Amino acid sequence: MNKPQMLVVEDDLAIGNLIMTTLETQQYQFHRANTGAGAVLDALSYRPDVMLLDLGLPDMDGVDIIKKIRSWSNMPIIVVSARSEDTDKVAALDAGADDYLTKPFSVDELLARLRVALRRVRYDNKKINEAASIYKNGDLKIDYAAGCVYQGLRELHLTPIEYKLLCLLTKNTGKVLTHHYITNEIWGSTSSSDTSSLRVFMATLRKKIEPDASHPKYIQTHIGVGYRMLRQQNSKE
């Protein structure tokens, strides 16, 4: 996240301008919506990192906007509202708002709340990236970011071709990949010599990742067709 994107939803011109001027001082990027319908549309089109939301809008109540957005997005929503009753705050927070700032607000406080929201966005993004970079299947684990393969706690040492081959299979777990497809992905060609090389590399890969290479449980052979990475029973995904 280089420059955080904000969506400012505010129908009051003066307050909207104050918020935008404040965001400009921090080099945040932003879009502005004056209506509820515009807010939902902008949230969909621009995918902002954080939304600053006024509750009293001409066409929709802010709480309904929060509910709508929450049906498909987890982005932090900070309510900025003149409504100061506890019941209003509770309704907005229950609908899924992350924070609530009452007007008139101080610029410093607004910025502090935004920093908190952005910390959460960064944390969430980090978790998502980490989850996407780890593959687990039975006892087989691959850390794609580090390029490391483990069988249980033991790290396996694969050659670059074996690693490429394994990743191709794991990224398509459950699908049969044809000889033609695999050789084309690994060597960029599909000659018969590549098919025999594939058989050799598959044998060495199996020796490393299979507990019993003569009875493979991870990589299944489809004779005359190709190979498939099987999802193991004790695997959660």
| Residue 11 in the binding site for Ca ion (CB under 5 A) | yes
Which range touches Ca ion (CB under 5 A), out of 11-19, 130-138, 154-162, 182-190? 11-19
Supply the Cα-derived Rg of the chain in whole angstroms.
26
User: Under DSSP, is residue 105 helix (H, G, I), strand (E, B) or coil?
Assistant: coil
Which range touches Ca ion (CB under 5 A), out of 7-15, 26-34, 94-102, 124-132? 7-15
User: Binding pattern to Ca ion, positions 31-60, x when CB under 5 A?
Assistant: -----------------------x-x----
Which range touches Ca ion (CB under 5 A), out of 8-16, 127-135, 144-152, 181-189? 8-16
- Report the residue number, 110 or 149, with the smaller CB distance to Ca ion: 110
- Report the residue number, 54 or 194, with the smaller CB distance to Ca ion: 54
> What minimum distance in Å lies between the beta carbon of 232 and Ca ion?
55
With tokens 């490429």, the residue in question is 164
CB 228 within 8 A of CB 220: yes
| Residue 88 in the binding site for Ca ion (CB under 5 A) | no
Q: How many CB atoms lie within 10 A of CB 102?
A: 15
> What minimum distance in Å lies between the beta carbon of 59 and Ca ion?
11
Where do the DSSP E strands lie in the chain?
A: 5-9, 29-33, 50-53, 77-81, 99-102, 134-137, 140-143, 148-151, 154-156, 176-178, 219-222, 226-229
Please report how many Cα atoms fall inside a 13 Å half-sphere around the Cα of residue 103, on the Cβ side. Answer: 17
For Ca ion, the binding residues (CB under 5 A) are: 11, 54, 56
